[in-house]
Structure 1
Amino acid sequence: MSDPGTVAVVLFAVMGLLLASGVWVAVALTAVGFVAMYFFSAAPAGSLLASTVWDASWNWALTALPLFIWMGEILFRTRLSEDMFRGLSPIVGRLPGGLLHVNILGCGVMAAVAGSSAVTCATIGRMSVPELTKRGYDERLIIGTLTGSGTLGLLIPPSIMLIVYGVVAQVSISRLFIAGVVPGAMLIALFMGYVAIRAKLDPSLAPPFEERLSWREKLARSRLLIPVALLIFLVIGSIYGGYATPTEAATMGVLGALGLAAASRTLSLTSFMDALMAAVRTSTMIALILAGAAFLSIAMGFTGVPRVIAAEVKAWNLSAWELLAVLTLLYIVLGCFLDGVSMMVLTASVVLPMVKDAGIDLLWFGIFTVIVVEMAQITPPVGFNLFVLQGLTGRDILKVTRASMPFFALMLLGIVIITVFPGIVTAPVSWMISR
């Protein structure tokens, strides 16, 4: 058996080489696990690879994943963004910042039915970017509100990232969904507060809302929000009320999304198949990454590397706060090179035992991790939301990144808040369980 420290250096070098050469993340994880097993342990690499991949692929909790992804893809192809813009604009148009708040609230609403950051950002952005640009709103704030608020799709249930974390950390997905609501609302409040302050200090950033609508017209516009509100209630309410598991709620969500698409006359055989194939591609990518990560975790356990790293970190005598600060920095750096799912599963075998030993609640840590992963969605060069907005606006990636930085800072503030007041995450779960 080789020295675990040497093994760690070799494995990290192999991982870096594979990722830098453009190999798929799932293949890279599996390959590193196989190298660890074959060269640095006496365990049978082939049979363990087969059994581990099989065990990781039939997890019942994963059945909710493709369904929620499919629901988001269906809604992406409807008129949902147009209806939300028209429905929300009379409600928030008079606030400081005007229709920029539609971006924030629209992304929050879309996050509650899509579960995907990229889908949330693209769905709202394709409607609001040309509309707000035409009305003379500041371009940097338009981009920033979309890139920042688009990340809410990772946190506000039904979140694909929370499902992945629940599977990896073996934490109840339903409880994670409950825990994600208040932090999600907190981030929305922080974003809206920032926009309102900026608009108050410089009114030229957000022109006054000129539309004069009667109460009857406002009510008619508000009715456009009813279908999506019913869909949110159907999906999230059924989980919170204990009437459905995440998988059952996802099934109802798909049926509801198909109903909305049919009602808006955007459901055709072509759009149905496009949504289905997009969901299949995304789901299989995530499933392969999870299977590769499961095998890598088993392999790392045989080499003793996680124990060595955990012992080294323990020798630093870090407090829980200091450990969280180190992990935040680690995830921000990793987010410059890896997508959120890869980042989460790659570090799980080392990070989760350390967090558990430090006495940090794994439920709370799931929300913490997802917010940090949200920040990674707007850090170059692999920030997915940056690419989405680059495609929508035609601006270069550096300009999109600069516009996103204030919202990156607000998410960092959100992490500080839930660390100082952990009840923001855990109290709703405790309340729901005690009912």
Structure 2
Amino acid sequence: MDTALFTAIITGLLLLFLVLGLPVAFSLGGIAVLGVVYIWGAKGMYMVAQTAYSEGTNSILTAVPLFILMANVLRTSNLADELYHMIQVWMGRLPGGLAAGTVVICAIFAAMAGISSVATVSMGLIALPAMLKRGYDKHLATGCISAGGALGILIPPSIIMIIYGTMAEVSVGKLFMGGLVPGILLALIFCVFILVRSALKPSLGPPVDEVFSFREKILALKGIFLPAALIIVVLGVIYTGAATPTEAAGIGAVGSLLCAAIQRRLSWANLKGALSSTFSLTAMVLWIVIGAVAFTHVLAYAGVSDLIKDTILGLHLSKWWIFIGIQICFFVLGMFLDPAGIIMLTTPIFVPLIMELGFDPVWFGIIFTINMEMAYITPPFGFNLFIMKAVVPKDVTLNDIYRSIIPFVILQAVCLLIVTIFPDLALFLPNFME
């Protein structure tokens, strides 16, 4: 069959399955099975099983369940309560201080978790009621939590970066370090926006009435000790080369258990809940990986990836126009698909293309992750928006949540533009790694 026709059929089937609401993992896996049977016949089915086994035992992907376990254990501890109390004591008197502080807490959780849901759920349950009670504008309050929670996939560790690194054959450790500065930059952009906007219009984020003594402020800092220690250890062993990201994930998982034990929250019920959630999320990730890798192998054998790459290069466009087109494609896909699924669909096509155009794959991975942050808060699929809807009071509608994220999506786009113009922001730390 002609490669162009095969590509059209594959694309049509994929769109059909997704429109019908089939999970991304089974859409990709099902098309892969059909492709294998068409190309090699029934005897080729062993390759699907071989792919499932090889990906399921991939040492890099072992980090995924460990970081997810780390996140789920941290969710059961009361670290979020202590961190929020610290922010309330130190920043509550500033206009918009609680909202800006909530972003800071989300950034701290991002550096401990690797996924966005932990900070979004925790702050949605703790910070949101506190801000609304103190007269904060509901759009500012919900928006800062939705956007702050999305930092979980940019500030290392990051499950999305692990999946991208596996598919693109890029160092996960360098991706982690590459996301650190842009992640902090984006958190600062959020905080500055909130503080400036609240200063210009104090009714959006009125200062709290409580006055705390210097001693109370010093005592409140104890809430940062355990998170800071865990972050320094996990990221430190990766940056120094003392441990691989997978080994660091193991250290982080054990560290999170120690944190929960110190907080006296390591009960059997909490551990059982954390393990159950870890199993479910890990299974979902691995099914997506298995289905996508099998799909990728079929595309590669049929020459689909090469056809698309050669077609784009044959347009003789500037590499920056191609880059912009890819980012627009990511943004549109992010409105409808999960970021993990987008990685699986696009990495085999776009990564070889951008490398041929002379772009650094580590830098491109960071740009991709920032784009996926927008996906987490962009309707209609925006995962963080669904989480927020589940935790907000009844008087906060879904339309309110959609309105709340507009300025933050714009700020994410600004950060993406800054890192695009100044690539050293993403490459400075990775370049120091061996």
TM-score, normalisation: structure 1:
0.96
CA-CA distance at 1:42 after TM superposition: 7.3
Query: Are the aligned partners of 1:97 and 1:206 in contact in 2 as well (CA < 8 Å)?
Result: yes
Partner of 1:420: 421
Residues 302-333 of structure 1: CA deviation (Å, up to 9, x unaligned):
21111111111112223232122111111111
| Separation (CA, whole Å) in 1 of partners of 2:281 and 2:409 | 26
Query: Are the aligned partners of 1:37 and 1:302 in contact in 2 as well (CA < 8 Å)?
Result: no
Partner of 2:308: 309
Partner of 1:141: 140
Residues 1-44 of structure 1: CA deviation (Å, up to 9, x unaligned):
x1222111111111112122222221111111122233356795
| Separation (CA, whole Å) in 1 of partners of 2:178 and 2:374 | 19
User: Which SS does the other structure have where 2:363 is aligned?
Assistant: helix
CA-CA distance at 1:396 after TM superposition: 3.0
| Separation (CA, whole Å) in 1 of partners of 2:187 and 2:107 | 7
Partner of 1:124: 123
Q: Extract unaligned runs of 5+ from structure 2.
A: none
Partner of 1:195: 194
Query: Are the aligned partners of 1:132 and 1:142 in contact in 2 as well (CA < 8 Å)?
Result: yes
User: Which SS does the other structure have where 1:22 is aligned?
Assistant: coil
Query: Are the aligned partners of 2:35 and 2:298 in contact in 1 as well (CA < 8 Å)?
Result: yes
Residues 205-224 of structure 1: CA deviation (Å, up to 9, x unaligned):
11123222121110001112
| Separation (CA, whole Å) in 1 of partners of 2:170 and 2:283 | 22
Q: Extract unaligned runs of 5+ from structure 1.
A: none
1:9-24 matched pairs, under 5 angstroms? 9-24=8-23
| Separation (CA, whole Å) in 1 of partners of 2:62 and 2:99 | 36
| Separation (CA, whole Å) in 2 of partners of 1:348 and 1:193 | 34
1:354/1:89 CA distance change after superposition, 3 Å: same
CA-CA distance at 1:179 after TM superposition: 0.7
| Separation (CA, whole Å) in 2 of partners of 1:213 and 1:399 | 33
CA-CA distance at 1:249 after TM superposition: 1.6
Partner of 1:386: 385
| Separation (CA, whole Å) in 1 of partners of 2:43 and 2:305 | 20
1:401 aligns with 2:419: no
User: Which SS does the other structure have where 1:99 is aligned?
Assistant: helix
| Separation (CA, whole Å) in 1 of partners of 2:275 and 2:113 | 14
| Separation (CA, whole Å) in 1 of partners of 2:292 and 2:377 | 24
Query: Are the aligned partners of 2:95 and 2:206 in contact in 1 as well (CA < 8 Å)?
Result: no
1:318/1:119 CA distance change after superposition, 3 Å: farther
Partner of 2:370: 371
TM-score, normalisation: structure 2:
0.96
User: Which SS does the other structure have where 1:23 is aligned?
Assistant: coil
| Separation (CA, whole Å) in 2 of partners of 1:398 and 1:317 | 43
| Separation (CA, whole Å) in 1 of partners of 2:48 and 2:97 | 55
Q: Greater shift after overlay, 202-211 or 31-40?
A: 31-40
1:297 aligns with 2:296: yes
Residue type matched to 1:249 in 2?
Answer: A
1:70 aligns with 2:83: no
Partner of 1:179: 178
| Separation (CA, whole Å) in 2 of partners of 1:167 and 1:275 | 25
Query: Are the aligned partners of 2:331 and 2:371 in contact in 1 as well (CA < 8 Å)?
Result: yes
Residues 158-187 of structure 1: CA deviation (Å, up to 9, x unaligned):
111111111111111111111110000110
CA-CA distance at 1:96 after TM superposition: 4.0
